[in-house]
Chains A and B, each alone.
Chain A
Amino acid sequence: MLKSLSWRAATLSVVLFVLFVGAWQLATSGGSTALPPGMDPEYAKLLGLGATQGKSAMPTPLEVGAKIWGHLRDPFYDRGTNDKGIGIQLAYSVARVALGYLIAVAVAIPLGFLIGMSPLLYRALDPFIQIMKPVSPLAWMPLALYTIKDSSTSAIFVIFICSLWPMLINTAFGVASVRKEWLNVARTLEVGPVRRAFTVILPAAAPTILTGMRISIGIAWLVIVAAEMLVGGTGIGYFVWNEWNNLSITNVIVAILFIGVVGMVLDLMLARAARAVTYPE
């Protein structure tokens, strides 16, 4: 039953995909290059009508497919500032996300531990966290550019600040809500505070912490595209904006697909890590 369900779901996915591509093909192949009646084809060519008339900049699926193939065949070429392979651009973005995210992990988890263990800190820091959490990370960009004075580092800072809150809140919450009886077990066994933190609190809170980390990586990957559009230079966000300026809708569509695939891979990695630390009760 389960197997047949997944089989049916896969079939439906393929059908939907074919329908979508078909509709796309129909929508973009319309608007024929037919010339106004009675016009001499040579004259029309002279006017440039044959090249543009009725033809949208929106590519057909086949054109996009060809472009993807082209990018996949040579993802790492580098022909100057405005012409780098999509692999290089994605690598820049992933590197920025990784750096900002890891710094956020290094700050959020120890700090979240402290906040979670101390009801005093929990209450004292709560107003700040609640105010900072809903701020769009891009709002920090001018402040970052002004103080850091380096656009690439500013992008990393923006990633750091947007990854911080979900991890901080989840770590604090996970640590604060460790079951009392598990802590009592540690107490009756005279387990010291450091050993207790690593053998009881950390494993107990790990699923909640990993959930926060998974939310954070998702947000970070959303934010990096926008941040790179602003700071420019390199990265997949810059690539999208640059191709828009080149009016290469094909490349924009290709970039959207690649952004989606990389985001999915990042999420899957965190989901796998979360599964590894989850315990059934």
Chain B
Amino acid sequence: MSKGYISIEGLARSFPAPSGSGAATTVFRDLWFAMDKGEFVCVIGHSGCGKTTVLNILAGLDDPSAGVVIVDGKEISGPSLDRAVIFQGHALLPWRSVLGNVAYAVSSKWRGWTKQQVEDHARKYIDVVGLKGSEAKKPAQLSGGMKQRVGIARALSIEPKILLMDEPFSALDALTRGTLQAEARRICVETGQTVFMITHDIDEAIYLADKIVLMTNGPGAQIAEIVVNPLPKERARDSFHKHPLYYALRNHLIDFLVTRSKTFAAEIAAKAAEGRPHDARRPPVILPAGLEKPITTLNGSGPAMAQSA
């Protein structure tokens, strides 16, 4: 497998049985996956498949039971300022102002900076997420969407190599979510940010992602396949669902979540009987059925393209 900018190699995580007796629960096993610099990758799967655990391992907040994660040529161990996390529950420090929260991250990254340098840098990113004028407010004075904007500003302000997002918009109402998705995409495309995002929202994945990683149900979850998003890089939040390829992709993802995520083991067995065994190290990279080839040239070529069955 070609080594990408980020490479997940043979990752597994199991938890001991709660009572101490009985077998350990393996949440997921043998995950292999690589992504390139500047790619936006979404992982979707049912709850319990270990999506968040994968993200926590990438963030360095959790340790894998087996396997490694390599970022920019180095194996990760523990958290790092190279990898910023946008938490599901925004996780702002409530006793700090908007500026204080972002400045805290900035001063953690550049410890030698003066107060003025830190504030200027923090203000720049508060501006990017459109919160100019709210610098002095405390998180409790902000709406849910604004809080998450601060979370995004904080993560971006440390200029990370990768942005890790754990269902960042799931707690927001539909309208706010749509606006924030559009802004997140704009910012990430403009800055060429590499993003790894967890979601259970199919439309969110279609709108944001360059590649969509499908995980089967846990325990013992696997990467079933990696779907290449055929939508053009330039997509508008209000019209992407009218794109001719949208429904093919959406149907493929829904089919996966509704049925194939459960029956994937049988699917593997059937394919193996046909002489096409599933190789966990090279999960199939596919375009949804009916699409001959991607509309745009995708940056970063993964393993050999295969047409979905």
Contact = CB atoms under 8 A, between A and B. Distances in A.
Name the prevailing secondary structure of the B interface residues. loop
Interface string B62-103: 000000000000000011110111010101011100000000
A204 B109 CA distance: 22
Interface string B49-63: 000000000011100
A189 B105 contact: yes
A188 B61 contact: yes
A203 B104 CA distance: 14
B172 interface: no
A187 interface: yes
A230 interface: no
A189 B94 contact: no
Contacts of A184: 59, 61, 85, 87, 91
A188 B85 CA distance: 7
Contacts of A199: 104
Contacts of A182: 91, 93
Given A199-B104, A279-B140, A190 B91 contact: no
Nearest to A199: B104
Contact of A203 (B60, B83, B95): B95
A188 B84 contact: yes
Interface in A8-63: none
Contacts of B59: 184, 188
A191 B108 contact: yes
Given A181-B87, A189-B108, A191-B108, A281 B81 contact: no
B161 to A, nearest CB: 13
Nearest to A186: B108
B87 A190 contact: no
B140 A185 contact: no
Contacts of A119: none
Given A181-B91, A184-B87, A279-B140, 5 more contacts: A184-B85, A187-B78, A189-B158, A190-B81, A281-B94
